[in-house]
Chain A
């Protein structure tokens, strides 16, 4: 039965740099949980604390009901997939996978059975007797995964497992990893800086910045309702606007922004009062570059400056001129999905509009 992982008030400092600053996380049994953040945010340190390769200064880590904070790594029963795979070059694929079972003093026959089961699971049965350096990057990845899985760890730890693969393989392997984790019913913690990886396969994710957790939630929650400017800026692209609350009622809130008046209809606006200074986040794909429907709110006159055409999307840079507040031009990123018309030449006038459901209010 899968068990959860509970991290409480964990802190770690290296030579005066704070790597982890009071992190608490509650990871559910069977959950595929992501630690997402830029390099140096402390996510790998956090994972290594769970594995036991790094001693926290404060706080505790529980796997299930067991406090493992001070346990040496080889007694923790976690299965880790290393960024470099760390396959032992002096052992065959089979021996690599069997190693953890041998450490658990399993009978020979059971070792053989479980190794072949694990090889099947990662679709590597035909490579059992190869040496790791005869395998491609993707195959090495699978073996590393099998080696960690075969011991049926309480918790699977993945440290940027796909960062050494090419783009296409990465996409393929990430759904493979999710399939395998779910098939085995494992609790897994997955460290990455790649937001697409996290959004695509995570059950839930924690965004880390400078050693602190910024936000925890499902991919949809974190993407659509970022709580602060860091999360909004780190996950996906966004337009941030300084704004002042004008008024609020049950149907939504209205703001004064450099664009003009902007309406928002996202939930959780209750704490806002007129006159509050806030930041609004508007995703580029929420800004529609076309004629708005009749009487739509958040519609503005704009000029398209330039366009990057990427096939499935056209990325425009548009300027909105606010005649009323005379705050000058504001440049926005606007993504047109499935673009029909691509303006390549300069300064084309157009209208842009934003659905009030897509205007997110950030705490700071």
Chain B
């Protein structure tokens, strides 16, 4: 790649990135410190002094830590077992382990409540009274629900990290007399630490700032819900800004620490495996014993899904204090399609996500090209920038876009041009900001997919095209892009699927019913008394089906490399 081309793309992307990402971020950061023309730390300090806010932050922090710990406890042993042993049905179980990803945890919460709620399945099954299984204050319920939905990300990361370690590393220890358990803690664990932390950081940031699940589980005393409740005062109240700033700081610090500690020593990557590794074959009952924890985790993790599916098929009100619904119906699906809000929401989600993915592809592929194929020094900066959206919670970005929206729509220039104003104001039309928000947050997946493809494709293939007289653009179009198609499709599918089921941006930015995306509609339906929860479940099942197809599709295309998408 020519230097001038690389620099052109670099500055173009940098400009776009500053406008779409850094600017809203700056608004968030300054909003709580620059109030009424004065720089002040008053609000930041008051946030810590205010018992309600302080408690919310503590709770959020605990949500993040507990969720991540549970996810670690689930996924590390499973990944290790799956790496070390071969047994009947392993492929199927490994695939099923990823299935929980097809449902955002906040939709799962509906099913979760049906099963573990006071008048739910478990109590009916055991013949108990209204025992509260979800824990006082619902804290335990939220964390378990989140951990069961998010552990696949960690599982993929750890599996990939394990596969990357030269098997000779563990063999050398074994050869020197190290027994299996010690070998795991002294050799394998330190070597997969980067993967562990990469996955763990993503899960921590996700659960620390998650909005949908606490909302549905009615766990209101955490920062994310407090921010959501304060949205209406965005113009006048600096507190939500400060709260968001604190969340951002925690997330970015954790991300930076991970990068700093593990970025330089990407252990696993440096020595290529010298010997073919084969997992140990377990036959008969031994295999069955190893398969047991997989089955246990899968059944637990799919419980919310089962709850949602059953709810969607039950006659409203017929599943109360019983093991299963007493009356089944497909009526909720008919209602879901008949409901004006659901049909528009599906159309809206498809439109927003498609536009976001298009934007993403353009930016993502350009970045990947510069990062992998150019020699300019600044490419490292571009690579780091493209990954930052992973470190910035969706809630923070949504808040930033809201703030930009209110700024732009109140400009005197915008006031004079009502058409522009309606585009700038999320209250009239959130399309612009939702598309940007969807795109920016999923950019890392796109860049990673494209970069992985480029790294696997030898540069010699491009050079030989150039040597035969193809211009750089022709080479890209005729040689490179076709060769990385599989990666691009996988990245696109993931970006699209995650956009379709995005929660925090959708809840916060879409404020008019005719612009609601699917997730916001599910939330609004859920809150309707009567049939709402059942219609919401029907819509949730549709979303589940849709996401299952895309994820299975991309994992078929990418195979084992799927894990690479969730790396930092």
Identify the A interface with B (CB < 8 A): 44, 48, 51-53, 72-80, 82-86, 88-90, 99-100, 103-104, 133, 147-148, 151, 157
Tell me the smallest distance from the CB of A285 to a CB of chain B, in Å: 35
Q: Which residue of B lies closest to A91 (CB)?
A: B190
Do B174 and A90 touch across chains, with their CB atoms under 8 A apart? no
Number of inter-chain CB pairs below 8 Å: 88
Known contacts A83-B274, A84-B168; is A103 also within 8 Å of B187 by CB?
Answer: no
- Complex interface residues of chain B between 153 and 199 (CB less than 8 A to chain A): 166, 168-169, 171-180, 182-183, 186-187, 190-191
Do B176 and A147 touch across chains, with their CB atoms under 8 A apart? yes
Q: Which residue of B lies closest to A82 (CB)?
A: B168
User: Can you list 11 contacts pairing A with B, beta carbon distance less than 8 Å?
Assistant: A51-B175, A74-B175, A80-B175, A82-B274, A86-B168, A86-B172, A88-B169, A88-B190, A89-B191, A90-B191, A103-B182
* Besides the known contacts A51-B175, A72-B174, 19 further A-B residue pairs in the complex with CB atoms under 8 A apart: A44-B275, A52-B174, A53-B174, A74-B173, A74-B179, A76-B175, A82-B274, A82-B275, A83-B275, A84-B272, A86-B166, A88-B169, A89-B191, A90-B190, A90-B267, A99-B173, A99-B178, A100-B176, A147-B176
Give every chain A residue within 8 A of B173 (Cβ-Cβ). 74, 88, 99, 103
Tell me the smallest distance from the CB of A140 to a CB of chain B, in Å: 10
B265 within 8 Å of A by Cβ? yes
Which of B172, B186, B274 gathers most chain A CB within 10 Å? B172
Do B274 and A78 touch across chains, with their CB atoms under 8 A apart? no
Known contacts A89-B265, A90-B191; is A79 also within 8 Å of B175 by CB?
Answer: yes
Tell me the smallest distance from the CB of A76 to a CB of chain B, in Å: 8
Q: Which residue of A lies closest to B269 (CB)?
A: A89
Cβ proximity bits B253-293 to A, threshold 8 Å, 1 near / 0 not: 00000000000010100111111000000000000000000
Known contacts A53-B171, A82-B274; is A103 also within 8 Å of B177 by CB?
Answer: yes
- Chain B interface residue count, CB cutoff 8 Å, equals 27
Known contacts A74-B177, A147-B176; is A89 also within 8 Å of B267 by CB?
Answer: yes
Known contacts A53-B171, A80-B172, A82-B168; is A89 also within 8 Å of B178 by CB?
Answer: no
Measured in the bound complex, the distance between the Cα atoms of B270 and A157 in whole Å is 24
Do B169 and A104 touch across chains, with their CB atoms under 8 A apart? no
Q: Which 8 A-B pairs have the closest CB atoms?
A: A100-B176, A84-B274, A86-B168, A103-B177, A86-B172, A90-B190, A82-B168, A73-B174
Measured in the bound complex, the distance between the Cα atoms of B171 and A79 in whole Å is 11
Measured in the bound complex, the distance between the Cα atoms of B191 and A84 in whole Å is 16
Do B176 and A86 touch across chains, with their CB atoms under 8 A apart? no
Do B166 and A84 touch across chains, with their CB atoms under 8 A apart? yes
Give every chain A residue within 8 A of B182 (Cβ-Cβ). 103
Residue of A82, A99, A147 near B171 (CB, 8 A) is: A82
Q: Which residue of A lies closest to B272 (CB)?
A: A84
Tell me the smallest distance from the CB of A53 to a CB of chain B, in Å: 6
Measured in the bound complex, the distance between the Cα atoms of B275 and A99 in whole Å is 22
Measured in the bound complex, the distance between the Cα atoms of B171 and A144 in whole Å is 13
Residue of B171, B179, B180 near A86 (CB, 8 A) is: B171
Tell me the smallest distance from the CB of A154 to a CB of chain B, in Å: 12
Give every chain A residue within 8 A of B180 (Cβ-Cβ). 74
Do B265 and A100 touch across chains, with their CB atoms under 8 A apart? no
Identify the B interface with A (CB < 8 A): 166, 168-169, 171-180, 182-183, 186-187, 190-191, 265, 267, 270-275
Known contacts A84-B168, A86-B172, A89-B191; is A75 also within 8 Å of B177 by CB?
Answer: yes
Do A84 and B176 touch across chains, with their CB atoms under 8 A apart? no
Give every chain B residue within 8 A of A51 (Cβ-Cβ). 171, 175
Tell me the smallest distance from the CB of B31 to a CB of chain A, in Å: 43
Q: Which residue of B lies closest to A101 (CB)?
A: B176
Q: Which residue of B lies closest to A89 (CB)?
A: B267
Give every chain B residue within 8 A of A103 (Cβ-Cβ). 173, 176-178, 182
Give every chain A residue within 8 A of B271 (Cβ-Cβ). 84-86, 89
Give every chain B residue within 8 A of A52 (Cβ-Cβ). 174-175
Measured in the bound complex, the distance between the Cα atoms of B175 and A151 in whole Å is 11
Measured in the bound complex, the distance between the Cα atoms of B344 and A120 in whole Å is 77
Which of A99, A147, A151 gathers most chain B CB within 10 Å? A99
Give every chain B residue within 8 A of A72 (Cβ-Cβ). 174
Give every chain B residue within 8 A of A148 (Cβ-Cβ). 175-176
Tell me the smallest distance from the CB of A48 to a CB of chain B, in Å: 8
Measured in the bound complex, the distance between the Cα atoms of B169 and A147 in whole Å is 13
Tell me the smallest distance from the CB of B85 to a CB of chain A, in Å: 15
Which of A52, A86, A151 gathers most chain B CB within 10 Å? A86
Which of B180, B186, B273 gathers most chain A CB within 10 Å? B186
Tell me the smallest distance from the CB of A211 to a CB of chain B, in Å: 17
Q: Which residue of A lies closest to B266 (CB)?
A: A89
Give every chain B residue within 8 A of A88 (Cβ-Cβ). 169, 172-173, 187, 190-191
Measured in the bound complex, the distance between the Cα atoms of B168 and A148 in whole Å is 13
Give every chain B residue within 8 A of A77 (Cβ-Cβ). 177
Measured in the bound complex, the distance between the Cα atoms of B273 and A73 in whole Å is 19
Do A73 and B272 touch across chains, with their CB atoms under 8 A apart? no
Measured in the bound complex, the distance between the Cα atoms of B270 and A77 in whole Å is 28
Tell me the smallest distance from the CB of A51 to a CB of chain B, in Å: 6
Q: Which residue of A lies closest to B173 (CB)?
A: A99
Tell me the smallest distance from the CB of A194 to a CB of chain B, in Å: 16
Known contacts A90-B190, A90-B191, A133-B270; is A82 also within 8 Å of B172 by CB?
Answer: yes
Tell me the smallest distance from the CB of B438 to a CB of chain A, in Å: 39
Measured in the bound complex, the distance between the Cα atoms of B180 and A133 in whole Å is 26
